[in-house]
Amino acid sequence: MTDTSRALSDLLGEAALRRAWYRRPGPVAAAAILVLAVAWLAWPRDSGRREGDYLTEMAGYGDLTVTASASGTLQPLKSVEVGSELSGTLETVLAEENDQVKTGQILAMLDTAKLKDAVTKSQAVLAAAEAGVAQAQATVAESQASLSRMHQVAVLSGGKVPAKTELETADATLRRAVANESSARASVAQSRAALRTDQTNLTKATIRAPIDGVVLTRKVEPGNTIVAAMSTPVLFVLAEDLTRMELQVKVDEADVAAVKPGQDASFTVSAWPGRAFPATIRRVGLGSSTTDNVVTYKTILDVTNDDLALRPGMTATAKIVTAQRSHALLVPNTALRFTPPADQPTGGGGVLGALLPSPPAQQKSAIKSGPQAEAQVWVLQGDALQPVKVQTGVSDGRHTEILGDALKPGAAVVTDYRKVAK
C-alpha cells in the first residue's frame, strides 16, 4: 500500500471502503433466483388440481344395533291332530272351527251299529267259554271221585281188584279232565279279551277332545266315510293355547354363528303393517336344510299373543338382535370401501403437492367386519388425504364400529369422490 492510500484509509476508515453484501451483485442475484424458484413450485398448477370434490362424513360416537333377518311362520306351542282309528261313516259332527273345547268333550261320532253287534257277539262267546269251564270242572270232579273209589276197593281187596290197568286208566282220565278245564279257562280269558277289544272300539267310535283348546281346523262333515287303513285320517286340528305361540324361522348360515338362545328379536306380519311384535329366541337348530342351494337352520322364537292378534300359519319376518354397542365410535361403511382415484393427488394442492409421492392405487374390497378386523379409511385434512389404518368391530350394514384410538372422533372420513362436469 502506498503512502497516499494509507493516508486515505486513515482518513475515511477501513470499513467505509468495504461494501455491504446486499450491495454486491452476485449474492443478490442468487437470493432472487431462490425466492422465485420456491414461489414457482408453490404456485398452483393445472396438473395437480382436483377435478372434483370429496364427500366426507364425520366419525362420531353413537349406538349400534346389529340384527339378522329371517322369515318363517307362526305356530301354536302345542297342537294335536285328532283322528279316528276306526273305519266307518260319520254319524254326527259336533265341533265347529274356533270352538273352545274341554278335555273329553265329544267332537264327532261314528255309526256304531256294527260295533254294538260285535260287542254282543263277544259277550255270547264269553258266556259259552265260561260254560265250558263249568263243564270241565264237573268232569274233573267226576274223574277224581272214580279214581278215589278204585283206590278204596283196592285197599279192601288187598290189591286183588281192580286191575292195575284200570287204575292207570282212571288216573289218565283225571289228568285229561284237568287239562280240559285249563283249556276252558284259557278260552274264557281269550273271549274276555275279545269283548274288551270290541267295547274299546265302540268307545273309540265317539271321538273326544284330548286337550283343552280351540278347534283350528275341521276337515269332515256328517255322512263322510272314514277309511283307517294305512294311516289315521285327521278329522280336527286343536291348539292348546293361542296366547303363547312360537315363530319358526330359517336363519341363514352366514348369520347363525351370531344367533343364540335368549337373544331379543322382533317380527312383523302382513296382517298388522307397522306393528312390531316382540319375541325371544328359545332354540337354534343344529341340523340344516338346503333350499335352492341356500343353507338355513331352523330357529324357534317364543311369542306372547295376549290379544290374539296373531294366528297360526301367519308368515312373519323377524329381526334378531345379535349385538348392541353403546357410545361406540362409528364410521359409514362407504368410508371403509373408498379408495382415492388413481389420477387425483393425495398430498395437497399446487405443484409442491403434486410432486409429493402418492400412495399406490388400491382396488376396492368388501368390508371386513368383526373383532379386530383390519381396514383403512381416508381422512381429509385441509386439502390433503391421509390414510388411517383402523380395527373394525361389528357392523349393521350402514355403519361399522371402530376399535382402538387410531381414528379420532370428529375426523372427516371420505366416503366418495365426485368429478365436476366440464
Whether the model clears a pTM of 0.85, i.e. scores above it, the answer is no
In sequence order, the β-bridge partners of residue 252 are 296
**Residue 28 reports pLDDT greater than 80:** no
What pLDDT, in 10s, does the model give residues 53-96? 889 999 999 999 999 999 999 999 999 999 999 999 999 999 99
pLDDT at 27: 59
On whether the 47-63+328-419 domain is CATH 3.90.25.10, my answer is no
Residue 305 pLDDT exceeds 90: yes
Q: What is the mean pLDDT of residues 358-375?
A: 52
Edge-to-edge strands, sheet with 88-93: 206-208, 106-110, 88-93, 225-226
**What would the CATH number be for the domain defined by 84-109+209-231?**
2.40.50.100
Q: What is the mean pLDDT of residues 227-232?
A: 82
Which DSSP string do the residues of 1-32 spell out, in sequence order? --HHHHHHHHHH-HHHHSPPGGGSHHHHHHHH
Residue bearing cell 306372547: 304
Helix axes 164-204, 113-156, angle to 10 degrees: 160
Alpha-carbon distance of 410 to 61, in angstroms, equals 9
Of the candidates 79, 97, 76, the one whose C-alpha atom is nearest the C-alpha of residue 312 is 76
Q: Is the pLDDT of residue 48 over 60?
A: no
Q: What is the C-alpha separation between 194 and 200, in angstroms, rounded?
A: 10
- Burial annotation 322-352 (CB, 10 A radius, 16+ → b, else e): bbebeebbbbbbbbbebbbeeebbbbebbeb
At 308, phi and psi to the nearest 5?
55, 30
**Residues contacting 112, CB < 8 A, separation 6+:** 91, 202, 205
Q: Which CATH superfamily includes the segment(s) 68-77+239-326?
A: Efflux pump adaptor protein, beta barrel domain (2.40.30.170)
